[in-house]
Amino acid sequence: MRIAIATRHIHRAGGVETYLEQVAPELLALGHDVRVWYEFAPDESAERILPATVHAAHLPCTNASGGVVDNVAAWKPDAVFLHGLSNPAVEELLIDIAPTVLFLHAYHGTCISGTKTHLYPAGVPCSRALGPGCLLQYYPRHCGGWHPVTMITSYRQQRRRQLLLARAAFVTTLSEHMRQEAIVHGVDPARAVHLPPFTPAAPKVIAARPREDGQDRWHLLFAGRMETLKGGHVLLDALSQLDDGLRRRVRVTFAGDGRERTRLEHRGTALVERGVDVRFVNWLSPADRTALFQNVDLLVVPSVWPEPFGLVGLEAGASGVPAVAFDVGGIREWLTDGVTGRLVSASPISSASLARGIEDCLSNPGRLRKWGTAASAASRTRTLGVHMETLNSVLARATGHHRTAAFELQHA
C-alpha cells in the first residue's frame, strides 16, 4: 500500500513527531511504500526524526493552490495519513486525493482556538462543542487573540476542519477522551478509532532510585513544548511554594523548547537564588531521553489544557518514573491516582495545588518507588506492535471502503 503521510514537522517539536518517529519506520517494515510530506522546513541544526529510508519532501501550505499538492497526487497514494496542517484548505486538497485517515492529535476542528481552554479568570479546560456559542465566549474567557479578525478567521478555519472530520474515512486518536471529542463533533462512532497507545522508544526498564532523608536532591522533570498551555510557568510557581526545606532539596530539569522558553529561563533564575537547582536542556534524542529518565525521580506534567493523551507519561513510566499531573483530558488514561503517581484536581488549576501534589509524592519514598514499579509494569503492556496492528487494519479498511464505494457508484 502507498501511504502519504502529511505533517507539520520532520524535526523534533512535540508529541506528533515522537509518534511519527516510531510509526513511520514500522509502516515501512510492514511492507508499505511510505512517503512523508512536511509543512515547515527544519533549521540545518535540527535533528530529523525519520531514518534515511523514509522519503520526505517539503509541502508548503501558505496557499491553497492545486499546485501545492500536485506532487502528492502524482505519486498516486492508496491512502493519506493526515496529522494536521496549518492551512485547512491544503488539508481539503489532500483529502480529495485518496481515502484519508485523520489523526486527531489535538483539538483541530473542535475548538475555535484549538486549545480547548479558557484562560480567564483562570486556566480551565473547556468542554463545550464548537459552534456559534464559542464566539460569545471568545473575549470574556480569553480563548484567543484580541483582534476581531483573528476571532472570525480562527472560527471559520476550525469549522472547515470540523467538516474534514466528517469527510475522513477514519478519525484516529490515542485516547478515548479524544475519540469522544471526535464523536461529539459529528464523527460516526464506527469511524472514530481509539488506537492502543504505546510506549515510545522502548527504553531500558529500571526502578526509581531509593530515597532516604538527607540524601541528594530529588530530581523532577518537565519534558515537552515550552508553551503556555503546557504549564511550565505553573510548575515554576509551584516550586516557589514548596516547603522551604524540601525546596532546597529539589533539582528540576526542563527538557524541550518553545516560545515560552526564554521567559521560563528568566523565572527559573529567580528560583535558583532561592535554592532550587533549575536547568534547561534542548530536545533530546530517544537515547538521551532514556538516559535522562533513568536519573529522574518524578515526572511533572503541569498542562493547563486538556492534554489529548501525553506519550511522555508512558515513556517516563517505562524507566520506572511515576508522575504528578493535573487531572485533565486523557491523562488519567495512563496515570492512575495512587498507583502510578498522583492526579491533582483541576478544579481549579493552581500552582498551590500542584505544589501540594509534588510534596505528597516526595513525602513517602517507599510509596514513590512502588508507584514507579507500577508505572513500569503498565508501560510494558503498551506495545508498538499492538498499535501497528490496529493502525494497519484501519488503513486497509479505509482503502477497501473507498474502492467499494467507487465501484458501486460506477455500476449504479
Using one digit for the tens of pLDDT, what is the confidence trace for 170-201?
999 999 999 999 999 999 999 999 999 999 86
Q: Which residue is it, cell 516526595?
A: 362
pLDDT digits (tens, 9 = 90+) for 206-239: 444 444 444 578 999 999 999 999 999 999 999 9
pLDDT digits (tens, 9 = 90+) for 63-81: 777 788 999 999 999 999 9
Q: Any idea what the CATH number is for the domain that residue 157 is in?
A: 3.40.50.2000
Sequence-distant (≥ 6) Cβ neighbours of residue 144 within 8 angstroms: 112, 113, 115, 138, 150, 151, 154
Q: What is the DSSP string of 339-399?
A: TTEEEE--TT--HHHHHHHHHHHHT-HHHHHHHHHHHHHHHHTS-HHHHHHHHHHHHHHHH
Domain-embedded: residue 270: yes
- Residue 401: pLDDT band (50, 70, 90) is low
- Kindly tell me if the per-residue pLDDT of 408 is higher than 80: no
- Kindly tell me if the per-residue pLDDT of 13 is higher than 50: yes
- Kindly tell me if the per-residue pLDDT of 394 is higher than 90: yes
Domain-embedded: residue 369: yes
pLDDT digits (tens, 9 = 90+) for 45-56: 777 888 888 899
Distance CA 71, CA 168 (A): 21
Residues 301 and 257 in one domain: yes
Domain-embedded: residue 213: no
Number of domains in the chain: 2
pLDDT digits (tens, 9 = 90+) for 19-58: 999 999 999 999 999 999 999 988 777 778 888 888 999 9
Residues 104 and 123 in one domain: yes
Distance CA 412, CA 401 (A): 16
Percent of the chain at pLDDT > 70 equals 93
Task: Tell me if the bond preceding 121 is cis, omega within 30° of 0.
Answer: yes
> For residue 91, what pLDDT is reported?
95
- Would you say 36 and 17 are in contact if contact means Cβ atoms under 8 Å apart? no
Domain containing 374 equals 218-380
Torsion, Cα of 281, 283, 287, 293 (10° steps) = 50
Domain-embedded: residue 309: yes
- Would you say 38 and 58 are in contact if contact means Cβ atoms under 8 Å apart? yes
Residues 192 and 238 in one domain: no
In the predicted model, what is the mean pLDDT of residues 231-250?
93
> For residue 406, what pLDDT is reported?
41
Residues 284 and 320 in one domain: yes
φ, ψ for residue 313, nearest 5 deg: -65, -40
- Would you say 306 and 110 are in contact if contact means Cβ atoms under 8 Å apart? no
Torsion, Cα of 232, 238, 242, 248 (10° steps) = 20
Residues 192 and 58 in one domain: yes
- Would you say 4 and 37 are in contact if contact means Cβ atoms under 8 Å apart? yes
Q: Which three cell numbers stand for residue 289?
A: 531521553
In the predicted model, what is the mean pLDDT of residues 244-269?
93
Domain-embedded: residue 212: no
Residues 368 and 229 in one domain: yes
Residues 179 and 312 in one domain: no
